[in-house]
């Protein structure tokens, strides 16, 4: 048989989970270490869910076996929150007009499975921002994808969005942001590489998507970024910069400059227990203060 090299893209969360048996355990340990208790169920955390703030949540994948969970998540969140587009969420915080509990959804890495999110998002009238690596969009070489997924994402090989898919997302009212050309760790890159990457992604997305405003750096922890990166993002023309550090954003009365504003986002895996997700965002709400709005650099 020709083509006996096995080209098999992962297309279910079941397959991913089989490869990552420890993820859930570490999540439970993290919960045990933090301050809130789930003893009283949702009733005990409801006041935190009702607090005016913007909570950003981001996902990486919505495989077909996660669709129902995604819809359940949107349904549950909609009981206490209003969905905001990414740009509207950023603007609310920058203009000090956070008056209700808001949720803004984004997704990183540009997997093709993101397309499956569109129907549920439409149902809840929610717009999301998809942070993509332009260097991977439309990539179809399985060996390139397999290497990228393994080395950069610690993930089995998955299909990536095409530029046509990106257009489909935009036409459905979603936003596209940059996640660097090829998913680099900015803290491990040189000043020149960072400047070059920011300029290149900004230009490509300007041409392909008719403009781009938002940036989220790969890996997302503060130690994956630095002051050089922060400056390069805004010098290139982006107007927001996101982390994957937990937290939410409350209204601040003093002026918040876009280049000082550090967007915090909580990662969500769709098969996590719903109460645990609510617990995490309630904990953010409980701990929120205006210093959370700023970069630590
Ligand atoms: Zn990423």
CATH number for the domain spanning 180: value is 3.20.20.370
CA-based nearest residue to 87, from 76, 78, 99, 95: 95
Cα 84 to ligand 1 centroid, rounded to whole Å: 22
Cα 183 to ligand 1 centroid, rounded to whole Å: 6
Cα 243 to ligand 1 centroid, rounded to whole Å: 10
The answer as to whether 210 is a domain residue is yes
Q: How confident is the model at residue 187 (pLDDT cuts 50, 70, 90)?
A: very high
The answer as to whether 33 is a domain residue is no
The answer as to whether 258 is a domain residue is yes
Question: Reduced to 3 states, what is the DSSP secondary structure of residue 165?
Answer: helix
Name the one residue in this structure whose structure tokens are 């809130």.
Answer: 36
The answer as to whether 26 is a domain residue is no
Cα 254 to ligand 1 centroid, rounded to whole Å: 32
State how far the Cα of 193 lies from the Cα of 196, in Å rounded to an integer: 5
Q: What's the number of domains the chain is made of?
A: 1
The model's pLDDT over 71-89, given as tens digits with 9 standing for 90+, comes to 999 999 999 999 999 999 9
Cα 3 to ligand 1 centroid, rounded to whole Å: 31
The answer as to whether 262 is a domain residue is yes
Domain of 257 in residue numbering reads as: 45-293
The answer as to whether 10 is a domain residue is no
What is the per-residue pLDDT for 2? 47
What is the per-residue pLDDT for 1? 46
CA-based nearest residue to 117, from 58, 55, 179: 58
What does pTM read for this prediction?
Answer: 0.93
The answer as to whether 2 is a domain residue is no
Mean pLDDT for all residues in the chain: 92
Cα 49 to ligand 1 centroid, rounded to whole Å: 27
The model's pLDDT over 234-278, given as tens digits with 9 standing for 90+, comes to 999 999 999 999 999 999 988 899 999 999 999 999 988 888 899
Cα 109 to ligand 1 centroid, rounded to whole Å: 5
Ion ligand 1: protein residues whose beta carbon lies under 5 Å = 108-109, 218
Q: Say whether pLDDT at 279 is over 80.
A: yes
Which is it for strands 101-108 and 128-132: parallel, antiparallel or unpaired? parallel
Cross-strand bridge partners of residue 105 = 57, 128
Long-range (24+ apart) CB contacts under 8 A made by 11-19 are: 11/63, 11/64, 11/113, 11/158, 11/159, 12/63, 12/64, 12/65, 13/61, 13/63, 13/65, 13/66, 13/270, 13/271, 14/65, 15/156, 16/61, 16/63, 16/155, 16/156, 17/271, 19/156
Q: How confident is the model at residue 19 (pLDDT cuts 50, 70, 90)?
A: confident
Cα 123 to ligand 1 centroid, rounded to whole Å: 26
The answer as to whether 3 is a domain residue is no
């Amino acid at each position: 048989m020709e083509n006996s090299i096995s080209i098999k893209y992962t297309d279910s969360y079941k397959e991913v989970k089989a490869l990552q048996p420890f993820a859930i355990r570490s999540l439970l340990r993290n919960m045990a270490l933090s301050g809130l208790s789930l003893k009283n169920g949702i009733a005990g955390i409801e006041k935190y869910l009702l607090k005016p703030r913007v909570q950003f949540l981001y996902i990486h994948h919505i495989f077909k076996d996660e669709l129902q969970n995604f819809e359940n998540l949107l349904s549950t969140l909609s009981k206490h929150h209003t969905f905001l587009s990414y740009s509207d969420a950023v603007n609310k915080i920058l203009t000090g007009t956070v008056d209700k509990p808001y949720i803004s959804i984004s997704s990183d890495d540009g997997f093709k499975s993101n397309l499956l999110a569109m129907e549920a998002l439409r149902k809840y009238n929610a717009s999301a921002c998809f942070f993509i690596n332009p260097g991977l969009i439309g990539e179809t070489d399985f060996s390139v994808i397999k290497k990228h997924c393994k080395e950069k994402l610690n993930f089995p090989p998955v299909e990536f969005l095409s530029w046509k898919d990106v257009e489909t997302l935009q036409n459905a009212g979603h936003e596209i942001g940059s996640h660097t050309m090829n998913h680099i760790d900015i803290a491990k890159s040189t000043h020149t590489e960072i400047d070059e990457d920011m300029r290149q992604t900004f230009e490509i997305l300007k041409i392909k998507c008719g403009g781009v405003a938002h940036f989220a750096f790969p890996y997302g922890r503060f130690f994956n970024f630095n002051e050089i990166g922060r400056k390069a993002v805004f010098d290139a023309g982006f107007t927001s910069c996101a982390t994957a550090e937990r937290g939410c954003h409350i209204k601040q009365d003093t002026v918040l400059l876009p280049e000082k504003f550090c967007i915090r986002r909580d990662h969500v895996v769709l098969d996590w227990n719903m109460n645990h997700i609510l617990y995490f965002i309630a904990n953010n709400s409980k701990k929120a203060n205006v210093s959370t709005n700023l970069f630590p650099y």
